[in-house]
Structure formats: C-alpha cells, structure tokens
Amino acid sequence: MKTLFQTFRLKQLRYRHDPFSLAIWLLVTLATLATVAILLLLVGYILVKGVPNIHLSLFALEYNSENVSLLPALINTLMVILLTLTIAGPLGVFSALYLSEYANRSNRFVGWIRLATETLAGIPSIIYGLFGMLFFVTFLHWGYSLLAGSCTLAIMVLPLMMRTTEEALHSVPDAYREGSYALGAGRLRTIFTIVLPAAMPGILAGVILSIGRIVGESAALIYTAGTASQIATGLFSSGRTLSVHMYNISNEGLYISQTYATAVVLLLLVALINWISNFAAGKLTKGS
C-alpha cells in the first residue's frame, strides 16, 4: 500500500502537465485493486464465516439431518471425477492424436471436428444437464445415476481435454518423431513410446483443468446424477457431488453454518487444484 502511494506521488510529479496519463494510471490501478478486493472479500468472508463451523461431524460417513455430513458428497465427487476421466480421458487423447498426428491439414473432416468441439465448448451446463436427462436418464433408462452424470460431464469436458492434449502434442518437436522413425519404429510405436510421454505434462494439465470443472459443476448434475445424499453404491445409483450438495443445503435454508463450512471445503479443493495445475505448468515450461 505504501509503495503504491509512493508510485502515485512519483507519477503525479512526472505528469504535472499531463493529467490524462495520470488519470489512466489511476484508472487501471484502481480497477485492479477493485478486482483483488472483490476476490479477497469473497474468499475472506467465506473463510471467516466457514472455518469456525467446520466440525468433525461434517465428515461422518453417513448423512443425516443432524450432522449434514459432506463426506458422502465428497466421496461421490471423487467417484464422478474418476468415472468422467475414464470416459473423457481416452476419448480426448485419441481424438487429439487423430487431429495432430494422423489427419492432414487440408482434410475437410478436420474442420467439422473443430466446429463440433467449439460448439460443445460454448454450450451452457444446464443444456448439458437437460440433454443428459433426456438421453442417458430417460432414453437409455439409466435413471438418475453416477454413470449418467459422468457421461454428461464427459461430453462437457471433452473439448477441454482435446484442446489441451492437442497443444501438448504440437509442442513435441518433430525431431523426436523423426528420430524414432529413423530407428525403424512404426507410427503407433512412435506415438506411444515417444510422443505421448513427451506430451504428458500438457495432457496432465488438461486433466487437472477438467477436474476443476467437474468439481465446480452443479447445473449439469442435478437432473443426471440426482441429489441422493448418501454415498452412491454403484454405477447406477444416484449420488450428489459436493457442489450439488452445497446447493441443496443452501436451498433448504436450514443449515446456513454447515453451508459456510461446505463452501470452505469447496474453495480449498479448488485452490488445491489450481495450485497443482500451476505446479504442472511450471514443470512443463521448465521441461521445454
């Protein structure tokens, strides 16, 4: 704060005859301060209200209206993450492999795929939820289930997985591939033993981003994975993730203190995911 004020005095002196420049400097600085203030207010408010409300009973294995435990929802979240990545991971990586290693650029088909992924990336989550309900839940008769929710989310994170993987594949130098071919390896072998390992950090970054989206998602899950409050017992059993859980207890309005605590856990989860992703990105730039 003090240095900010000193910079301001310095600028004031330098721009004695140029108030416009001073005004611009003030404007952008104040805007940034406002953005940071909003974030600190949001995070600070939830931490201050939520941390004192974190009790051991929130982590009971079974949910009931006494303890409003978030552990079942947390476990459901982990299951949904695993399931979604199992579906979307291979699909995303293979599609990206096709786009960057197999298809030639002039292929009209590639244009269609890109158009499709761009469209998918822009669709709001409630429409995914509605589609999941119409297709997986009703049409395929899966009912409200982890599988229906995960399949819906898999389509949702597919564009993200494809894009990050493709970028990672592009950043692998061609010399790697040529070297491998020169040693007599086939295309497939080159991809799985040379290209993919080299692109791994980038692919991992995509996976982590996807996890972030899955953790934060609620609108697409309410009508696909349902809102059952206990630990899901199988693929076809309904179970709510942490975000949906938080929405439900906030909506019921009876458990405000527990909602604050749940928000803290969600925030910590997101912060952790962001930290890991930055860490991976750091590793990535160091590697190249």
- Whether residue 91 contacts residue 161, with contact meaning beta carbons closer than 8 Å, is answered with yes
Burial of 233 (0-12, 13-18, 19+ CB in 10 A): exposed
Q: What is the 3-state secondary structure (H, E, C) of 79-148?
A: HHHHHHHHHHHHHHHHHHHHHHHHCCCCCHHHHHHHHHHHHHHHCCHHHHHHHHHHHHHHHCCCCCCHHH
How far is the C-alpha of 121 from the C-alpha of 35, rounded, in Å?
26
Question: Residue 253 corresponds to which tokens in the numbers above?
Answer: 């309005």
Least Å distance, CB 167 to another protein, is 14
Does the footprint of another protein cover residue 61 (CB under 8 A)?
no
* Range in contact with another protein (rule: CB under 8 A) among 54-62, 130-138, 174-182, 229-237: 130-138
Does the footprint of another protein cover residue 140 (CB under 8 A)?
no
How many residues sit in the footprint of another protein (CB under 8 A)?
87
Nearer CB in complex with another protein: 50/201: 50
How far is the C-alpha of 98 from the C-alpha of 234, rounded, in Å?
33
How far is the C-alpha of 254 from the C-alpha of 130, rounded, in Å?
28
Least Å distance, CB 224 to another protein, is 11
* Range in contact with another protein (rule: CB under 8 A) among 58-66, 156-164, 176-184, 193-201: 156-164
Least Å distance, CB 179 to another protein, is 19
Contact with another protein (CB under 8 A) among 117, 180, 224, 258: 117
Contact with another protein (CB under 8 A) among 32, 193, 233, 288: 32
Does the footprint of another protein cover residue 283 (CB under 8 A)?
no
Please give the residues from 221 up to 240 whose contact with another protein meets the rule CB under 8 A.
Answer: 222-223
Residue 110: which residues within 8 A CB-CB, separation 6 or more? Answer: 99, 103
Site string for another protein, 72-111 (x = CB under 8 A): ------------------xx--xx-xxx-xxx--------
Nearer CB in complex with another protein: 22/82: 22
Amino acid at 288: S
Please give the residues from 157 up to 176 whose contact with another protein meets the rule CB under 8 A.
Answer: 158-159, 162
Contact with another protein (CB under 8 A) among 10, 42, 48, 235: 42
How far is the C-alpha of 133 from the C-alpha of 142, rounded, in Å?
9
* Range in contact with another protein (rule: CB under 8 A) among 78-86, 169-177, 194-202, 274-282: 274-282
Side-chain-side CA neighbours of 36 within 13 Å: the count stands at 6
Contact with another protein (CB under 8 A) among 6, 12, 41, 254: 41
Nearer CB in complex with another protein: 38/235: 38
How far is the C-alpha of 167 from the C-alpha of 178, rounded, in Å?
19
Please give the helix or strand (H or E) that residue 262 lies within, else none: helix 256-287
Does the footprint of another protein cover residue 25 (CB under 8 A)?
yes
How far is the C-alpha of 248 from the C-alpha of 72, rounded, in Å?
14
Does the footprint of another protein cover residue 255 (CB under 8 A)?
no
* Range in contact with another protein (rule: CB under 8 A) among 59-67, 176-184, 197-205, 247-255: 247-255
- Whether residue 137 contacts residue 148, with contact meaning beta carbons closer than 8 Å, is answered with yes
From the CB of residue 165, how many other CB atoms can be counted at a distance below 10 Å? 26
- Whether residue 75 contacts residue 61, with contact meaning beta carbons closer than 8 Å, is answered with no
* Range in contact with another protein (rule: CB under 8 A) among 154-162, 174-182, 195-203, 229-237: 154-162
